[in-house]
Amino acid sequence: MDRELGHPGLVTPLRLTVADAGEVLTLQRAAYLDEVRIYRDVDLPPVLDTLADARAALADPASVTWGARDGGRLVACIRAVVDGAQCWFYRLVVAPDRQGEGLGSALLLAAEAAAPPEVTTFRLNTGSKSTGPLRLYPKLGYRETHRTPEHDHELVHFEKFRA
């Protein structure tokens, strides 16, 4: 899916590989800085990920990490893990200077479309203070299913059924 997203050039979702691990980790840490401030917690799991963790996730045959590049720069990514009829999405991140342009929405929808046909349900979660994702996911058809404690925070769980 090609789409104009406010800056010159097309941004096309593509499958990332282990060779992209450093960029994925750098983007993830930059994108989660606001979350660190909101939650007042430098020990959020996405911030604690290491280069080895990023490489392992990208090498995992059970997952696919999709990214969007603009002019060669990685500006967004998301990881998808299929488990039977379910697809779990993790670490949807957008470069701080590119947030609000529709990159996250476009990438999530592209990842949904790329899921195997046997997938009937998409699932993801976010923190209860993460206002951006809490607004975004319902706009894309996700509904809140429940909340669970996570360390000193609360996770909000969402699901969406494939049309």
Domains and CATH numbers, the chain: 12-161 (3.40.630.30)
Look-up: residue for tokens 């779990």?
A: 88
Q: What integer is the mean pLDDT of 155-161?
A: 97
Model confidence at 61, pLDDT cuts 50, 70, 90, reads very high
Model confidence at 2, pLDDT cuts 50, 70, 90, reads very low
Question: What pTM value is reported for the model?
Answer: 0.89
Indicate if the pLDDT at residue 11 is higher than 90.
Answer: no
d(CA 119, CA 56) in angstroms, rounded, equals: 24
d(CA 35, CA 70) in angstroms, rounded, equals: 24
The per-residue pLDDT for range 87-119, each reduced to its tens digit, is 999 999 999 999 999 999 999 999 999 999 999
**Contact predicate 30/82, CB 8 Å:** no
Classify residue 13 by burial, with Cβ atoms within 10 Å: 0-12, 13-18, 19+: buried
Mean pLDDT of the chain: 90
